[in-house]
Structure 1
C-alpha cells in the first residue's frame, strides 16, 4: 500500500507532458490526479498567499485582504479554531512576520503530532512562534480541553484596543473547538440539549440556532468581545451553500436569533421542561441578540470552499484531455440515494457515448431521481445537454462536491465516501450489460484526508468490481450490511481501491470524480 501511494503521489506532482504518457495513463490514475488538484487548491499555504498580501516594511506596512487595507505596526493578534487552522496559522505568521504580537489557536487532539509524522512541516509553527497551540475536542466532540482553549481565545479578544487588528481563522470542526456556554450553563448542559435535539431529528439549522443562543462566542460573540479592534475573519467553508453563520456557528457573524425562536424549537420536539433547567433560564433571561456596535469593524472573507477546489479540479481534468462538467457543490442526503444518482448518471453518459436507443428513457429516469434529491444548485436538464455533446467528441469528466449521510447498520469501519463508492459499484452491477463499450471509474474522497474512523480519504470503484470481488469470495452486500466499506476495500486487491492521502490539513467537504470514455482496445 505504501509503495502504491508513493507511486500515485509521484504521478500527481509530475510535470511531464501529456502526450504519449497520457495515452498510457489509466482512468484510475487520472481520477487520483484530479482529486488531488482539488485538494491542493485549498491547502492552507496556497489559500493564505492568495488571500493576504503585505506591502511595506517592518516600520510601516499594510495588509491587503478582501479588497481592504489594514495598517500593520506590530499590532496584529491572531486566534483560530478548526481542523485546518494549524496550517492556516503557520501560513499567516510567515506572511505577516514580526507584526504578529500574540496568538491562540484551538485544534483537534493530536493534530500537531499527526502533521509532524506526515512530514508536513509547512503546516507546523516554528519553535519561535508567537502563536500558542491548544488541542482538544477529541473525537470531534467539545470537551474540557476545548473549553479551556475557548477561554484563552475569549481573554485575548477582550484585551484588544482600537489600534489593534485581530485575524480570526475558521475552518470545519471549529464549533466543537470553541465551546463557551453562557453562565450558568455548563458544557454538560449544552451537550445534553444538543444530543436530545439530534435524537429527535432536529435539522442542522435548528441545532445551530440553539448553539448560538447558548454560547458566549458564537453568533457574533467573538466579534463583540474584540470590539473596538478591527476583525478580519478568514474562513474555510465546510458547509453546503457556504453560509458564514453556519460555519463554526458564526463567531464573527451577527446572529439574528430571538429567544422565542429557540423556545419554539424546543416546543416542536416536545423538549420544554425536559431539558436541563439552566437552558430555559438562559433562553428566557438572555436579551434578544444585539447587532454589533459598529458592523464595519468586522470583515468576513471566504478564502476556501468546495467550489474553489472543484474549479481547480475542472482545470486539471481539462488539461488531461477530458470534456468536463462541474455538476454541483451541494450533493447531500442519504448515501444510498446518492449512489443511485451517480450510477445512473454514468449509465446515461455511456448511452450517449454508444448512441444507445434507450438513452431517452434513462434521461427521464435520472431527471425524476434528481428532483427527489432536492439539490439546490443542480440544473440537470442543461447539464445533460452538455454531457450529450461532450460524449460525442471525447472522454467525459463529471465533478461534484458536498457531503452525504450514512445510516450505520453494523460494527464495521468505513466512512461516507468509501460507502458511496462501494454502493455505486453495486448499482452498476445490476446494469453492467448496458454499459459495455465504455470504461468508467468513480472516486469519492474527503478533502481532509480522513473518511470516518479510517486512514483512507475515500475510495474508487468501477462497474466490474462486484464480479471481481466474488472471485475472491468477497460479498459486497455482506460488507455493506456490516457498515464495513473500509474492511471490503482493505481486503480487495490489497487495498488498491482505497484513496489514501494522509491528513491534508484542509477541509472543504467531499469531492466526487466520475470519468467515462469509450473503451480503448489494448
Structure 2
C-alpha cells in the first residue's frame, strides 16, 4: 500500500512508513521510538474506512439486495448518500463502488485538503471514482465550522428533504462530523455558534457537553437529519470517535433522537459561567426549543450501526506489540478527564512500573493509592489496577501499556498545540524521575485523524530525558505549558523529531496512548 505517513525525522529515515503492519519487520535493531511509531501506525491502519465498510455492507448485484449486518434492504436505483467526517471520503468511495448504479445522488462534507492529501499519498482507494454521483464539499479547516461546511450542510439538508417513502438515505458518519455539518437555527449565526462552542472548549467542556449545546442550536444534529429525510428509510454507518460509542453524541447524533432539553443546556452554560454572556439569538432559540413545532425527531425509520471504534485500533496495536516481543495490556478504552491530571496518572504509572521492573521492589501503598484515586477521578471505569500490578510483578521482558480515548485540555495562553502534544509534554515532565534506571521508557500520544488541534502534527512522543534535553537547548518546559504552546516546544526541540507528523490519515477514532518499557 502506498505511503500516507510522513517519516519522523531522525527516527526512520532509512525506510518508508506504510499503512499496515508487515509481518517482515525486523526488530533486532529498532529503537524504542521506531517501535512506538509502528504500533501507532498499526492502530490507525486497523480503522481505515474502506475495510470497515466492506465488513458490514454488502450488495448482491443479481437481487439488488443491500445487507447491513443482519438487515436486508431492497434497492431499485433509489439510494441517496450523505456523509460528514474525517473518514467519510474513503467510506464514500467504497460505498459508491458497492452500490454501483443504485446510487442516484450523494453529498459529502470532508476536511479541507483531504482529497489532495490522499491523491498525493497515492491512496486511490480513498478517492471517489471519476464522474462520481457524489458531490464533495471540503471545509472545516483546523476542525472548525466555516462557510464551506455550512454550504455542505445546506446541500445535505436539501437532498434529504426531497426524499420519498420509496427512497433510502445512506448516511456515513465519522469523527469531525459536528464541524462539517453546521446548520445553526436562525437567528443564530455560524459565527455565534462557533464562538460559544470555542468558549466552552477552552474552559474544559467535555465532548458530551459541547454536543448537547450544538444539538440545541442545530437543524440537523440531535436527530434533525433523520427528521428531514422522513419518510425515506435511513441507514447510518458510524465510525465512532467518542468514548463509549454513544450514538447520540457521535457527530452530535444527526440520525439519533436527542434526549436533552433546554434545562440541560442551561446547566452546562451555568457550569462554565457563560449564561450571562449569551448572544440574544442563542437565548431566542433556547427559549422556544422545548415548544418546537417540528416536534421530537422521528427515528423509527432509521438503522444506526457502529462500524469501528478506538477499541478496534487498540486491539490491533496490542496484537502487534506482542508480535514485537512485548507483554501487552490495554489499560482503558474510556480515557477522558483533564490532561494535567491524566499526565500525572501516566507519569506515576511509568515510575511505578520501572521501580518494580528494575529492582522487583514492591511499590508503596501511598503510590498505589494515588494511582487508584487518579483512576477514579479520571473515571477510568474499565481499569483494573490490580491486573496492571500483577503484569508488572510477573514480567519477563519488555512491557507495552495501551489506552485510548479523548481527554480535554484547558487553554491558558496564546500558544499553538493540541491535547496530544500537551499530554506528551506533561508526561515527559512527570517521567523525569524515571531516568537512571536500567530500563528504557517512552510515552506516545497521537490522534488517529493525524491532526492534533490547529497544528500539522498528530501528537508527540517523549522519554524520561525530555526535561534535560530541553534544558540543554535553553527551552523551559514550564513556560511553554503556561502559554499552551506545546507544538512550538516540540518544533524547537531537536529539530522536531518528537512530533508525530502523519498528515491527514483519512480516519478518526480519537487518540492512542502508549507506554513502552524495555530493558537495556
Task: Say yes or no: TM over 0.5.
Answer: yes
RMSD: 2.8
**1:337: how far off?**
1.9
1:351 aligns with 2:355: yes
Moved more, 494-503 or 204-213: 204-213
C-alpha distance in 1, partners of 2:483/2:199? 26
C-alpha distance in 1, partners of 2:414/2:282? 34
Structure 2 spans left out of the alignment, 5+ residues: 1-7
Which residue, out of 335, 344, 364, partners 1:331?
335
C-alpha distance in 2, partners of 1:168/1:114? 24
The 5 A counterparts of 1:267-346 are 275-286=278-289, 287=291, 290-293=295-298, 295=300, 297-346=301-350
CA contact (8 A) 2:9 2:496 kept: no
C-alpha distance in 2, partners of 1:204/1:11? 31
C-alpha distance in 2, partners of 1:118/1:29? 21
| Aligned partner of residue 178 in structure 2, secondary structure | coil
| Aligned partner of residue 234 in structure 1, secondary structure | strand
- In structure 2, the CA distance between the partners of 1:230 and 1:238, relative to structure 1 (3 Å rule), is same
C-alpha distance in 2, partners of 1:13/1:437? 32
Which residue, out of 221, 225, 228, partners 1:222?
225
**1:37: how far off?**
0.7
Partner deviation per Cα, 1:230-264 (whole Å, 9 max, x = no partner): 11111111112211111111100011233454456
| Aligned partner of residue 255 in structure 2, secondary structure | coil
- In structure 2, the CA distance between the partners of 1:388 and 1:70, relative to structure 1 (3 Å rule), is farther
How many residues end up aligned between the 2 structures? 510
**1:270: how far off?**
7.2
**1:401: how far off?**
0.9
- The answer for the alignment partner of 2:368 in structure 1 is 363
Partner deviation per Cα, 1:256-311 (whole Å, 9 max, x = no partner): 2334544565667776685344434433434368455461x201111121111111
Q: Normalising to structure 1: TM-score of the pair?
A: 0.89
C-alpha distance in 2, partners of 1:476/1:264? 36
Partner deviation per Cα, 1:438-486 (whole Å, 9 max, x = no partner): 1212111111112233322111211223334444444434443443333
**1:421: how far off?**
1.9
CA contact (8 A) 1:353 1:517 kept: no
C-alpha distance in 2, partners of 1:407/1:419? 10
1:26 aligns with 2:31: yes
The 5 A counterparts of 1:152-171 are 152-171=155-174
C-alpha distance in 2, partners of 1:312/1:61? 34
- The answer for the alignment partner of 1:68 in structure 2 is 71
CA contact (8 A) 2:470 2:493 kept: yes
C-alpha distance in 2, partners of 1:44/1:184? 37
| Aligned partner of residue 91 in structure 2, secondary structure | helix
**1:25: how far off?**
2.4
The 5 A counterparts of 1:117-266 are 117-191=120-194, 193-194=196-197, 204-262=207-265
1:81 aligns with 2:88: no
**1:109: how far off?**
2.8
CA contact (8 A) 1:367 1:381 kept: no
| Aligned partner of residue 176 in structure 1, secondary structure | helix
**1:160: how far off?**
1.4
Which residue, out of 381, 385, 395, partners 2:398?
395
